[in-house]
């Protein structure tokens, strides 16, 4: 997770009104917008406010704190220190590292290990981590076998340590953590919660396509976004479907964008690593989009679903009442097909407010 942060601030006054403010508040209500970059990708925040306050410093500081806890690209971050310097690390009980770890543990258990944040050594081996970005010239099966032995999330122990700390310890030398499949979603959630603490209840926060939406837009409609098409050679703006989010979050994982292609064989190596085999996962599933109350959960399950494949992913998504999922997959004849849980149909009805 690279860390580079730029924040641009703009205030846009809109003539249309929201359903919630009073008549006097409608005259003052403005749409505030922030754009920038963080975690190696784009950042966009929109919200409704009438206070004329500039929250950019608070939002920026929060992102800096999160990255200093969980970015594998910052050598002094807590996760980097745990990965490279210490087998045991004290972290704040209510801190960013602990929150990411605890949710990762929960999803790891719910997915029977398909979501595994100890996959970092394999991510680096295949060229998708914090090490040099290059395709593996020649696959060494013996090396992969050894690396898979390091992917043991259960070998990490956590103990409460007064006052208000956790002691995180790894039992295996060489084990490393990677929260990149959950950290963007978590950062989106934390930005949204910060806005709520500042009295903002109508907002849309997006980092690299991961979204959290609350309340409505200025015209009273639910916030809208889209799920990108994984079609080969599609433009960045081409959508498979537009959806609306009624106090929901949305995260998408796909193997159609972040991959290496062997020019000699034409083989594509995607960034979703199967933690059970050690190899980049290759199945018919091209994109997994997850709707959930919070974006960190959606982010983690989207990654797990890509590793699991269509059948296992759809079965699990159908069992979890807090999740809805939209899958794009390749049929045997090469055409794109769609499969989703029933409630997703409601999200695609853009006429509803």
Q: For the domain 74-177, what is the CATH code?
A: 1.10.3980.10
pLDDT digit string, tens, across residues 152-210: 999 999 999 989 999 999 999 999 999 999 999 999 999 999 999 999 999 999 999 99
Of 60, 55, 58, 68, nearest to 95 by C-alpha is: 68
**Rounded mean pLDDT of the chain?**
87
The residue ranges of DSSP E strands in 76-233, in sequence order, are 88-92, 156-161, 165-170, 203-207, 210-214, 223-228
299 marked as binding residue: yes
* Cα–Cα distance measured from residue 120 to residue 128, given in angstroms and rounded to the nearest whole number: 9
The domain segmentation of the chain, as residue ranges, is 6-66+183-347, 74-177
Fold of 6-66+183-347: T-fold (3.10.520)
| Residue 280 in this model has a pLDDT that exceeds 70 | yes
| Other beta carbons less than 10 A from residue 325's beta carbon | 24
Q: Give the pLDDT band of residue 349 (cuts 50, 70, 90).
A: confident
Q: List pLDDT tens digits, range 50-87.
A: 888 899 999 999 999 999 999 999 999 999 999 999 99
Which segment of 12-21, 241-250, 287-296, 317-326 scores lowest on mean pLDDT?
12-21
Q: What pLDDT, on the 0 to 100 scale, is given for residue 129?
A: 84
- Write the burial class of residue 210 (CB in 10 Å: 0-12 exposed, 13-18 middle, 19+ buried): buried
Residue 68 has what pLDDT? 98
- The CA distance from 295 to 316, in Å, is 18
């Amino acid at each position: 997770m690279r860390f580079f942060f730029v924040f641009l601030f703009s205030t846009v006054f809109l003539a249309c009104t929201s359903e919630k403010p009073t008549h006097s508040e409608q005259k003052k209500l403005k749409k505030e917008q922030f754009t920038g970059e963080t975690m190696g990708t784009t950042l966009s925040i929109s919200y409704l406010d009438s206070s004329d306050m500039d929250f950019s410093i608070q939002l920026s500081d929060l992102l800096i704190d999160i990255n200093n806890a969980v970015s594998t690209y910052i050598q002094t971050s807590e996760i980097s220190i745990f990965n490279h310097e210490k087998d045991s690390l004290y972290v704040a009980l209510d801190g960013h590292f602990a929150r990411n770890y605890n949710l990762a543990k929960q999803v790891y258990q719910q997915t029977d290990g398909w979501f595994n944040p100890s996959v970092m050594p394999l991510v680096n081996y295949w060229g998708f981590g914090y090490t040099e970005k290059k395709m593996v010239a020649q696959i060494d099966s013996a090396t992969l076998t050894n690396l898979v032995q390091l992917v043991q999330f259960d070998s990490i122990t956590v103990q409460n340590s007064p006052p208000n700390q956790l002691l995180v310890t790894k039992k295996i030398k060489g084990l490393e953590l990677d929260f990149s499949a959950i950290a963007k979603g978590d950062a989106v959630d934390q930005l949204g919660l910060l806005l709520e603490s500042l009295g903002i209840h109508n907002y849309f926060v997006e980092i690299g396509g991961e979204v959290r939406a609350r309340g409505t837009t200025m015209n009273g409609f639910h916030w809208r976004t889209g799920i990108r098409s994984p079609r080969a050679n599609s433009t960045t703006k081409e959508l498979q479907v537009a959806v609306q989010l009624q106090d929901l979050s949305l995260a998408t994982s796909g193997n159609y964008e972040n991959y290496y292609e062997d020019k000699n064989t034409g083989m594509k190596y995607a960034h979703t690593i199967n933690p059970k085999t050690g190899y980049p996962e290759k199945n018919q599933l091209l994109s997994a989009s997850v709707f959930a109350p919070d974006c960190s959960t959606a982010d983690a399950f989207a990654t797990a679903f890509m590793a699991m494949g269509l059948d296992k992913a759809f079965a699990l998504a159908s069992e979890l009442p807090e999740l809805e999922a939209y899958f794009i997959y390749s049929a045997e004849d090469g055409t794109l097909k769609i499969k989703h849980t029933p409630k997703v149909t409601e999200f695609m009805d853009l006429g509803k407010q």
